[in-house]
Amino acid sequence: MPRYALVLEYDGRPFVGWQRQDNGPSVQAALALAIQRFCGESPDLVAAGRTDAGVHASGQVVHLDLARTLDPGRMRDALNHHLRPAPVAVLEVRPVPDDFHARFNATARAYRYRILTRRAPPTLERGLVWHHPHRLNAALMHDAGQLLVGRHDFTSFRATACQSRSPLKSIDLLHVRRRGEHVELYVRARSFLHHQVRNIVGSLALVGAGRQPLGWIAQVLAARDRTAAGPTAPPDGLCLVEVRYPGWSSTEG
């Protein structure tokens, strides 16, 4: 059976997350329905990252097996036709080896988090940014974020319901910069704990707002206690932007 990797873009607002659940629509269910309508098959769908409710993606990767070989361009266009009106798009269909695994073969995942820092609430970007009505010092947030780069015990930044066997993770890169009224965080690692990025953002925002000193982040990390860190930032501003594999990336056109 030929295996395909799909690169997906989606607006997470109407979904309970990537994974199929009983309490509402999921990205996985929307894609499964489109595949069934397209070719009558119901393959297992394995994603690189199980994005939570309200979290977006511009570079999610999903693999699946089908019974026959199909033209990638035709498959992309047909799936996009059947995905309507769900806010999900297949950007690319890539034939991959039989042993390719969207989750376990990934060498890095990258997320972007966007914060709108102005008094007026968002209209055009509602649900796509975290609205923070006070100005944040992006340079301080960036400097504090560098304390998290490398391999650490991220217990203080994991959700209490996180099911990962170990809190040890390695952050390869973390950048925070201001773009006009927005503050953007970009973070890349091989994998992340549940809510790790949103908890990091919530903590760095306290530094950027002047409510905590720069060195406080190191104290939070050393505490290994979720209650020592800042609040969990809302899902609105979070987007899975890239998944990397040996030889290719989901951001390649």
Active site residues: 52
Question: What tokens appear for 91 in the block?
Answer: 């950007």
User: 231, 233, 220: which is closest to 148 by C-alpha?
Assistant: 220
* Residue-wise burial string across 177-211, b where 16 or more C-beta atoms lie within 10 A, e elsewhere: ebeeebbbbbbbbebbbbbbbbbbbbbbbbbbbee
Beta bridge partners of 184: 114, 177
**Cα(224)–Cα(220) distance, rounded to whole angstroms?**
7
User: Who's near 246: CB < 8 A, 6+ residues apart?
Assistant: 105, 107
